[in-house]
C-alpha cells in the first residue's frame, strides 16, 4: 500500500512558541485551527458600506464544529501532562462536544453537565458519540458551572471550562491566524459573548502578537450578548437568562472581567442584540453568503449590522466577525422556518410543474 505523508498540525505545533508547552507536553490534537477567513460579499452591499471589508472567521470548520477545539487541545494536553485521568465541564453544548472528543482521543474519562432541554441536538449527540458521560442538570449553565467548580476543587478531576487558563491560551490563536492572514490586525473584531472566555482570549492574542512585532495595530473589540442574556451590558447578573441562541444563554459569565478589560483597553464596546436580530443575521449569512453558522455565532453579525445602521464604521476599515460554531449544530432551529415542502410524483412532468 502506498504511504502518503499526512501533515498533522494543530494550533499547538503551529504556535508552540506562544503557548505554555514544553517538549514533555504530549500533543493531543485533531488538527484544529487554520480555519478560513471568508470575505463577506453580500453583507457590505446590503448595508451600503463602501470601502469597508468584512471577513468571517469561520470556526465552524474546526474538528468538532466550534472554536472550543483551540482551547481544548491545550487544556487536554496539559491535563494529560499533569497525570489527570478525568475531565469535567459545564456546557451549553460546544464545550462538552469538544471536551468529549479530545478526552476520548487520549483515554481520559469525560463528564459533562448540561442544562436540561436547552442544548442543541447536534452538540448533545456529539457528547454521546465521543463517549462522554452526559449529566443533565435541572438548572441553567451558571448553576452547572458552580457544581463543576466545587467538584473539581480537590484536583482529582480536571476542570476544562474556560476558567482553566489553558483554554484561553489555546483560543488566543484565533487572533494569531487572523493577523497571519491579513498581515495586520483588523480595525474591528466582532464576537458573540457568553461565558466571555473567547473575547478575553482574542484580546490576549492580539496584544501578544503585537508585542511580538507581528502586527502594527490592535483592533477595537466589539462583543455582543443576546438581549435576554446580557449581564455585561446590563452591569448585573441575569438570574434566568433566555435566548434562542442557547450557546450564549448565560447570566453570570466566568470571564466577566476579561471581557470588560478587552472592551475598555481596546476602546470597543459590548452591546446586546435581540433574538429577532440574531435570526435575521443567521438567515442572511446562510441564504446570501453560503456560510452556515449557528445562532450564537450570528450574534456577532447582528451586532455589526446594528452598528453599521448607525453609521458606526468609518471608510477604509476592516471588520472580522468570529463565527464561533457550525450551523449543523442546531438542526431544530435550522428547520423552524416553515420552508415549503414540494412532494411530487416521481416524474419529470411533476418536477417541472413545481420549478416553473
Tell me the number of residues near ligand F0G by CB under 6 A.
Answer: 22
> 74: which 3 cell numbers?
491545550
CB atoms within 10 A of CB 233: 19
Binder among 142, 187, 289, 294 for ligand F0G (CB under 6 A) = 294
**C-alpha to C-alpha distance for 61 and 48, rounded to whole angstroms:** 29
Pick the closest to residue 253 from 302, 215, 199 (CA basis): 199
Determine, following the binding rule CB under 6 A, whether residue 291 of this chain makes contact with ligand F0G.
no
Please, which of residues 134-173 interact with ligand F0G by CB under 6 A? 162
Binder among 192, 205, 251, 258 for ligand F0G (CB under 6 A) = 192
Q: Give, in order, the Cα–Cα distances in Å from 154 to each of 109, 144, 157, 158, 318.
A: 17, 17, 8, 9, 46
Q: Give, in order, the Cα–Cα distances in Å from 172 to each of 169, 176, 334, 356.
A: 5, 7, 29, 50
> Residue 49 or 224: which CB sits closer to ligand F0G?
224
Please, which of residues 309-348 interact with ligand F0G by CB under 6 A? 324-325
Pick the closest to residue 291 from 311, 321, 266 (CA basis): 321
Q: Is the dihedral of CA 207, 218, 63, 245 positive or negative?
A: positive
| Residue range at the interface with ligand F0G (CB under 6 A); choices 86-94, 173-181, 227-235, 331-339 | 86-94
Determine, following the binding rule CB under 6 A, whether residue 196 of this chain makes contact with ligand F0G.
yes
Counting every residue written for the chain, the total comes to 356
Determine, following the binding rule CB under 6 A, whether residue 195 of this chain makes contact with ligand F0G.
yes
Sole residue written with cell 435541572: 138
Pick the closest to residue 118 from 335, 332, 339 (CA basis): 332
CB of residue 171 to ligand F0G, shortest distance in Å: 8
Question: Is the distance from CB of 298 to CB of 282 less than 8 angstroms?
Answer: yes
> Residue 29 or 252: which CB sits closer to ligand F0G?
252
Binder among 10, 44, 63, 93 for ligand F0G (CB under 6 A) = 93
| Residue range at the interface with ligand F0G (CB under 6 A); choices 76-84, 100-108, 196-204, 281-289 | 196-204
CB of residue 198 to ligand F0G, shortest distance in Å: 3
CB of residue 231 to ligand F0G, shortest distance in Å: 11
**C-alpha to C-alpha distance for 1 and 41, rounded to whole angstroms:** 44
> Residue 10 or 295: which CB sits closer to ligand F0G?
295
> 224: which 3 cell numbers?
455582543
CB of residue 293 to ligand F0G, shortest distance in Å: 8
Determine, following the binding rule CB under 6 A, whether residue 193 of this chain makes contact with ligand F0G.
yes
| Residue range at the interface with ligand F0G (CB under 6 A); choices 2-10, 43-51, 88-96, 336-344 | 88-96
Determine, following the binding rule CB under 6 A, whether residue 194 of this chain makes contact with ligand F0G.
yes
CB of residue 342 to ligand F0G, shortest distance in Å: 32
Pick the closest to residue 18 from 180, 151, 133 (CA basis): 180
Determine, following the binding rule CB under 6 A, whether residue 225 of this chain makes contact with ligand F0G.
no
Binder among 29, 91, 158, 279 for ligand F0G (CB under 6 A) = 91
Determine, following the binding rule CB under 6 A, whether residue 226 of this chain makes contact with ligand F0G.
no
CB atoms within 10 A of CB 24: 6
> Residue 57 or 68: which CB sits closer to ligand F0G?
68
Alpha helices in 82-120 (DSSP H): 94-105
Question: Which residues have a Cβ under 8 Å from the Cβ of 143 and sit 6 or more positions away?
Answer: 115, 137
Q: Assign 3-state DSSP to the chain and report helix, strand, coil percentages, each to 5.
A: 45, 15, 40
What is the x/- site pattern for ligand F0G, positions 245-264, by CB under 6 A?
A: --xx----------------
> Residue 173 or 297: which CB sits closer to ligand F0G?
297
> Residue 49 or 111: which CB sits closer to ligand F0G?
111
**Residues lying near ligand F0G in the complex (CB under 6 A):** 66, 68, 91-95, 162, 192-198, 247-248, 294, 296-297, 324-325
Amino acid at each position: 500500500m502506498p504511504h502518503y505523508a499526512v501533515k498533522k498540525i494543530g494550533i499547538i505545533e503551529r504556535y508552540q512558541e506562544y503557548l505554555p508547552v514544553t517538549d514533555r507536553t504530549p500533543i493531543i490534537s485533531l488538527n484544529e485551527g487554520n480555519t478560513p477567513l471568508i470575505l463577506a460579499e453580500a453583507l457590505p452591499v446590503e448595508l451600503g458600506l463602501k470601502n469597508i471589508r468584512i471577513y468571517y472567521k469561520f470556526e465552524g470548520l474546526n474538528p468538532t464544529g466550534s472554536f472550543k477545539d483551540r482551547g481544548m487541545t491545550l487544556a487536554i494536553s496539559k491535563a494529560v501532562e499533569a497525570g489527570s485521568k478525568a475531565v469535567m465541564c459545564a456546557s451549553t453544548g460546544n464545550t462538552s462536544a469538544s471536551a468529549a472528543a479530545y478526552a476520548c482521543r487520549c483515554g481520559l474519562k469525560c463528564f459533562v453537565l448540561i442544562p436540561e432541554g436547552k442544548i442543541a441536538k447536534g452538540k448533545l449527540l456529539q457528547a454521546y458519540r465521543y463517549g462522554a458521560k452526559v449529566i443533565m442538570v435541572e438548572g441553567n449553565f451558571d448553576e452547572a458551572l458552580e457544581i463543576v467548580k466545587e467538584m473539581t476543587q480537590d484536583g482529582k478531576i480536571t476542570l476544562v471550562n474556560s476558567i482553566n487558563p489553558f483554554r484561553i491560551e489555546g483560543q488566543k490563536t484565533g487572533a494569531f491566524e487572523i493577523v497571519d492572514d491579513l498581515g495586520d490586525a483588523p480595525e474591528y473584531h466582532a464576537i458573540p459573548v457568553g461565558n466571555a472566555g473567547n473575547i478575553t482570549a482574542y484580546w490576549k492574542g492580539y496584544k501578544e502578537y503585537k508585542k511580538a512585532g507581528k502586527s502594527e495595530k490592535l483592533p477595537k473589540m466589539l462583543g455582543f450578548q443576546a438581549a435576554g442574556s446580557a449581564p455585561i451590558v446590563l452591569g448585573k447578573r441575569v438570574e434566568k437568562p433566555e435566548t434562542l441562541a442557547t450557546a450564549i444563554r448565560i447570566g453570570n459569565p466566568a470571564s466577566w472581567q476579561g471581557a470588560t478589560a478587552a472592551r475598555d483597553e481596546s476602546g470597543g464596546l459590548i452591546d446586546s442584540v435581540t433574538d429577532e436580530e440574531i435570526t435575521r443575521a443567521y438567515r442572511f449569512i446562510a441564504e446570501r453568503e453560503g456560510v452556515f453558522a449557528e445562532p450564537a455565532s450570528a450574534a456577532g453579525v447582528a451586532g455589526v449590522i446594528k452598528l453599521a445602521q448607525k453609521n458606526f464604521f468609518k471608510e477604509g476599515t476592516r471588520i472580522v466577525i468570529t463565527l464561533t460554531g457550525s450551523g449543523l449544530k442546531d438542526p431544530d432551529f435550522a428547520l423552524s422556518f416553515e420552508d415549503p415542502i414540494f412532494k411530487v410524483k416521481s416524474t419529470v412532468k411533476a418536477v417541472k410543474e413545481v420549478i416553473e
